[in-house]
Chain A
Amino acid sequence: MFDVHEMEVNFGPQHPSTHGVLRVLLKIDGERIIEAKPIIGYLHRGTEKLFEAMAYPQCIPHTDRMDYVAAATNNLGFVETVEKLLGATKLIPRRAQLMRVMLSELQRISSHLLWLATHAIDIGAMTPFFYTFREREQILDLFESYCGARLTLNCMRIGGMPDDLPHGWLDDLEAFTAKFDPAMDEYESLLTNNRIWKKRTVGIGVLSPQDAIDWGITGPPLRGSGVEWDLRRAQPYECYPELAFDIPIGKNGDTYDRYLVRMAEMRQSNSILKQCIPLVKQTPAGDIKAKISKVVRPPEGEAYHSIESPKGEIGYYIVSDGKTQNAYRCHVRPPSFVNLQALPAMCKGHLVSDLVALIGTIDIVLGEVDR
């Protein structure tokens, strides 16, 4: 009855739903996607090249700028890799470890809140944005009172932390954690059983566990497909082994399950924060730096280390020549870059409007994709 008209259109790089400068070349038949080709690199700043030209401590601010909505976890991955290469992992004082965990979990919540706000807005639900940003502001205020910055935190150092917690910070954090669970209920009341939300997300972009592993997908998208794997549990770092938390997983691997996984993860992060507060209070104030040389010159060799960022596994592969204070090579394994690669497979056969939902559900940050 109708002719089949294939058409090629560009989605992005200026489209607001691409969360940055992602361009997707779409081959569509009406509204249905036949083929999608992500084109990236618009935000490439040569971070890995810059790492080679500056001393290790100077690299930390540059890691902020990769995943700029989750700077603390980027910092953590980098400093831990250098510490691993230095053999200083065990030397980090307990207070510094707990502070790192707290900042990472706060960062996880704030990154997921931003994801929830933009993901919901992309799909057409405007309201959650105003609620999630209310809590996100409080987290950014906590960051600001700790390190002076709200997004690009630069809040960790090789061998410890830059400063001790300011006076009253833990009380503010305690107040936040007490308020956060009711706030989560509020978000969920807006979306979880919302009929429109479910129609837009259930069964969209189904990813089987085998496919997810084959695509190298990590983080919430992997767990949404039912693979119970979290680096905080699988290869624990800092003081995660003594903290109790669940790893939420999904069943169907669709956009709705990934939504549920991230929502559950925020509650888990909040519970981790609650556990951390009394533990930090037991540690001596000011004990935040390991006694290691300020001149960071790791021995010749290489190390790969990764941590669980809000987006997935962020890994650093550092090659040191043992002679200079610069990394000979520092490769970043960005979770967004790897997860984005599955987009063409996920959106095949779906509508263009579902592509918006799928970009949101992968939770990419282009600063990290392009580095």
Chain B
Amino acid sequence: MSEIPPPSSTPPAAAAASAPPPARSVDDIKGDPLVASTVSRLGDAVTGAKEQVGEITLVVERDRIVEVCRAFKDDGFVYLVDLCGVDYSKFPNHAGPRFGVAYTLYSFQKNARVRLRVWTPEGEPVPSVTSVWKTANWHERETWDMFGITFSGHPNLERILMWDGFNGHPLRKDFPIRGIDTGARIYPEVFPEGGGPKAGSTGKDVKDVNVYKSEWKRYGTWPAAQIGGGAKPAAPAAAKPAPKPVAAAAPAAAAAVAEPAEDAEEEAE
């Protein structure tokens, strides 16, 4: 590695002339005194490096993340600050696997942080680092809950913030911010597919950036209620006569008409 920097350090210097922050080459970042000794021991497990706002990000081969984390822990990065997933599927000009998992490590002796990143396509598990840090347990559960990224070797990979049976992984970019049926899977006998309670429904036609058109079309309107309440056309008919104090019998008659209809509907279900 020591022989590589001289040739590669010239192009970044030229690039630095145009861009205000001097960008370092991948090998320069790998050779940073903060990470150099660890990276040199790991060989080719570290496949890339990036530096921004003074933070070093090392891209690590997915299957060797446990080994890399253990090596960093041995070198003083004893504190796993944070572990989180990012769905890059809608990131401009992104090519490669869909998800990134970012591990932020901190060393008390060096008083510095290092970020590790692994890339993983949908459905491929990332090795769990719970054996290295106990704190990774909940972070990985949250990442699984929010993105559906599985962690192999995790002691209890279950949902942590959403409930069991929740329909989908909310922080994925294709999960709309509102208007999706989120829990029908728990009560399939009560709610038909797409007819369950909807996240964030206000009844208004909102144009949120995260509501994708096909989803909105599918889930945008409430279906005829299955439990309680009347069918849609019956409701205004029953409500209109109600304010009139004169015809007290009229609403009762309307309700009487409406009720059998409801019952019939429920029975039909």
Contacts and interface: CB of A to CB of B under 8 A. Distances in A.
Contact of A84 (B53, B90, B115): B53
Given A214-B135, A301-B53, A304-B115, A329 B86 contact: yes
B113 interface: yes
Contacts of B138: 337-338, 341
Given A52-B210, A87-B53, A301-B52, A215 B135 contact: yes
**Chain A interface, DSSP helix/strand/loop, else mixed:** mixed
Contacts of B21: 87
Interface string B118-140: 00000000000000011101110
Q: Which of A40, A227, A328, A370 has the most CB of B within 10 A?
A: A328
Nearest to A326: B209
Interface residues of B, number: 42
Interface stretch (B74-82, B234-242, B256-264): B74-82
Nearest to A39: B160
Interface in A227-242: 227, 229, 234-235
Contacts of B79: 213, 216
A354 interface: no
Q: Which of A215, A323, A331 has the most CB of B within 10 A?
A: A331
A315 interface: yes
Contacts of A321: 91-92
B52 A53 contact: no
B44 to A, nearest CB: 24
B134 A214 contact: yes
Contacts of A53: 177, 208-210
A40 B162 CA distance: 9
A297 interface: no
Q: Which of A227, A304, A319 has the most CB of B within 10 A?
A: A304
B67 interface: no
Q: Which of A48, A216, A302, A338 has the most CB of B within 10 A?
A: A216
Interface residues of A, number: 43
Contact of B133 (A216, A235, A300): A216
Interface in A256-312: 300-304, 306
B55 interface: yes
Interface in A54-98: 84-85, 87
Contacts of B31: none
Contacts of A227: 108
B170 interface: yes
Given A40-B160, A328-B91, A370-B161, A304 B82 contact: yes
Contacts of A40: 160-161
A46 interface: yes
B102 interface: yes
12 contacts: A40-B161, A41-B161, A49-B210, A215-B134, A216-B133, A301-B52, A302-B102, A304-B113, A306-B81, A315-B81, A329-B87, A341-B137
